[in-house]
Each structure stands twice: as structure tokens, then as C-alpha cells.
Amino acid sequence: MSKRALKVVEAVYEHGVFRPVRKVALPDRSRVRLTLVPLGAANSKTRSRLIERQRKALLDIAGIGDSGRTDISENPHQALYGTDRAR
């Protein structure tokens, strides 16, 4: 995965095209990966399924999903950087 920062951009889908609500600082024809999260009013069951899918996706991105570790707060520098102190 790229080390570039992830951004959340709200968009409207119309006529087969996603149009950002606000200006996006990207060069024309930039390739991006979209994760669609409908902002409309969803019922609680649909919302719960969406939240669970997002949680699983975020854990996979963070690398926590494969390790089984859910909390690194006791020693975050060791878990993240391999050292007991901040660099």
C-alpha cells in the first residue's frame, strides 16, 4: 500500500460518474480506489452490517487482522517501531 495519506471525499453519483462535492487536490486522470459508503438513511440492520464490513476492512488495512492482536496500547512503540522508546 502507498504511504500517501488516505482522504475521505464526499461525492455525488450521477450519470455514471462520481462528482466530488468539494474540490479535490489531485491531478487530472489520477487513479484512486473508492470505497462506497452510502450516506442516505439506512435502517439499523443495514447500518450494522455496513459498520461491521468497514471494521473488518480497517483492521485488515492496519495489519491487525492477520496478527490477531487487537490492542497495542500497552507498548505501542515496541509494536509499531520495534523499540521501547519514541524515536
pLDDT tens by residue, 39-75:
765 577 777 787 888 878 777 776 655 566 666 566 7
| Entry pTM | 0.39
- In angstroms, rounded to a whole number, what is the distance separating the alpha carbons of residues 67 and 60? 10
Q: What is the pLDDT of the chain when averaged over all its residues?
A: 75
pLDDT band for 1, please (50, 70, 90 cuts): very low
Residue with the bigger pLDDT between 37 and 26: it is 26
Closest CA to 2 of 33, 37, 23, 36: 33
CA angle 31, 52, 35 (to 5 degrees): 10
Please give the C-alpha separations between residue 38 and each of 10, 14, 64, in angstroms, as whole numbers: 10, 14, 26
According to the model, what pLDDT value does residue 23 have? 92
> Measured on CA atoms in the order 25, 31, 37, 40, is the torsion positive or negative?
positive
